[in-house]
Structure 1
Amino acid sequence: MWKQSFTSAPSASLYEKILSCEELDGVGGHILEPLVDALGATSAVFIQMFASPLGDRHFGAHSYVGHKPGSVGVYLDEFHRLDPVMRPAMDWLEDPRRPLPNMLTGSFKRILEQNSYYGSSFLQPFDVGHVVAFVLPMNTAFETQLACVGFHRRLDDPAFSAEQIGWFERLGPALRSVLYVLAAKEAITLSETIAMAAKEAGNDFGFLIFDEDLVIRNANARGMEDLGVGGPDVRGSSLLGEIKQRLLGCDRSKGGSVTFRTDAPKPVEVEIRNFRSTDGRLFHLVVTNGSGKLHAIDDACRKFGLTEREAEVVSRIAAGKCNASLSRELGISLRTGENHLRSIYRKVGVGSRTQLLSRLLQIH
């Protein structure tokens, strides 16, 4: 039935096809499709799984080749927790000290007898009987994640043979190289976005990154504190809910940013930026700046008799903006911005930005 010879190494053309994959959206055409044909599989799936800053598991990019595309959504929503083949990988995400095999294989005939719910609700409707999969655990500079490519046969098909599994295992180094590069490219894009935000906002800022499903992919402690997430009542954060509502209510595909301020339960300035990773997937960077600091600076501006425009200049300085950036944001010329800054220095009695912020925050 299947003509692929599994006694020899995979062909050079197959390696070339796999190694030419340059983006996550290309996994289906460069990895899944050729290996479905080679292994005599009926379907295949790629899944990116990661541990969120809140301690739970989420899924990122995924793709599917086969006759049951609806199975992916159903699997990710509920049935991945019952999958005995993937369970070691998911356990590793919760405790990376555990050993994780690169190869996962399984036949579900016994599972159908032992777990009637998993069998009757997922395996039988989607005709999945046998699995061979490669799992790559990764700790990038951005997050801990797993990348998995799995190949399936129908319930009535013969299981993957030892020769076929061994042949597939030889592809491990190539798959490992490609999947790690794809994860690293994504991490670089997201890290560069955070670094740019840090440069603009100064040292006193928080951040969270949401993916296109509005799942928190990464965050620092300040951002989680400002938004009231990470504690036992994470689902009830009103500010987090407001941010998600704003994102759902706008055209998220467009670039640019939106800034707003909230005073409940404490003053927080929030900026939301939409951006895309190197392979075009949508992400959202949420930057929080200075809760208590913003409130203190506002009070100090009034104390020193600064005008409303001068207070706006000070708020940009506190956010780490240079003269050109703050002038552009306020819609004034660079010279006008510099004139405002000189007036502010005179009123507060300082001669530099550092002295200005120290005086306003009463840091001596």
Structure 2
Amino acid sequence: MKDASPLVIPTYDDVIAAHDRIAPYIHRTPVLTSTYFNEMTGAELFFKCENFQKAGAFKVRGASNAVFGLPDDMLEKGVATHSSGNHALSLSYAAGRRGIPCHVVMPRTAPQAKKDAVRGYGGIIRECEPSTTSREAVFAEVQAETGADFVHPYNDPRVIAGQGTCSRELMEQVPGLDAVIAPIGGGGMISGTCLTLSNTAPGVEIYAAEPEQADDAYRSFKAGHIIADDAPNTIADGLKVPLKDLTWHFVSNHVTDILTASEDEIIDAMKQTWKRMKIVIEASCAVPLATILKNPDVFKGKRVGVIITGGNVDLDTLPWIK
């Protein structure tokens, strides 16, 4: 599905339908706690661990909803997307489960672990330069050649409805949250969170966390309109893409605030999570914790859901190893 105009806004009924549709293909991921981080922040933190999800990331939710919602007459040509990694491997996973082709445009600089995972799930990769301009130009070529159905990494109502199932589970697992925080790049997870919470728990604050070196969503939020960076440079490789019209709809209407963290703060939060919680998370997923540690007064005394979005890490290039 191409960027919708006029906007096709998914509803909470779409989230419920998505949850039923994708249930056989995803995990209901666990929620973990950490006394150490609670004491550091003065908050009660509940980590929704999508790093334990199928394909290692939350994006399998939205990808599976799109793939398994395709009508039979569209299956032969398969699906296509552009992605720095987790959406690419998630769509490849879902397409493989349905037995259809999956074409993926990935930046040549994407982590090798993610490229290997895409190929392992049967995805067909075409590489591009690490910029939004190159990504979209190469993708246009691939779609013209294949005729595959475009499943946008985040600006797609099917994908957003699928991502909304994550916070739906979180609210069932941990009643009485005061706030939920998730990373923001293009805004798919945040949009799904907004969609679910605005319908089921409108009093819960929604925070987005972003790298300082890829802070276009933060600047957009403050300016009141989309500001897009073409090729930001950050360790959080999953958060380099800009907001689009559909995700901006949710961010501008429902997000409480967007907080940022430096590269060193992100790496420190990632390392501390590995060390203290004994779980593997990627740099993009460490940004929420980094912003909580940086802004403890915002969260002190609150019950906070922290969405850990994925765990697909290249173990040969860990950022704290010089």
Name the TM-score, length of structure 2 as normaliser: 0.31
Larger Rg: 1
Higher relative contact order (CA 8 A, sep 6+): 2
Name the TM-score, length of structure 1 as normaliser: 0.28
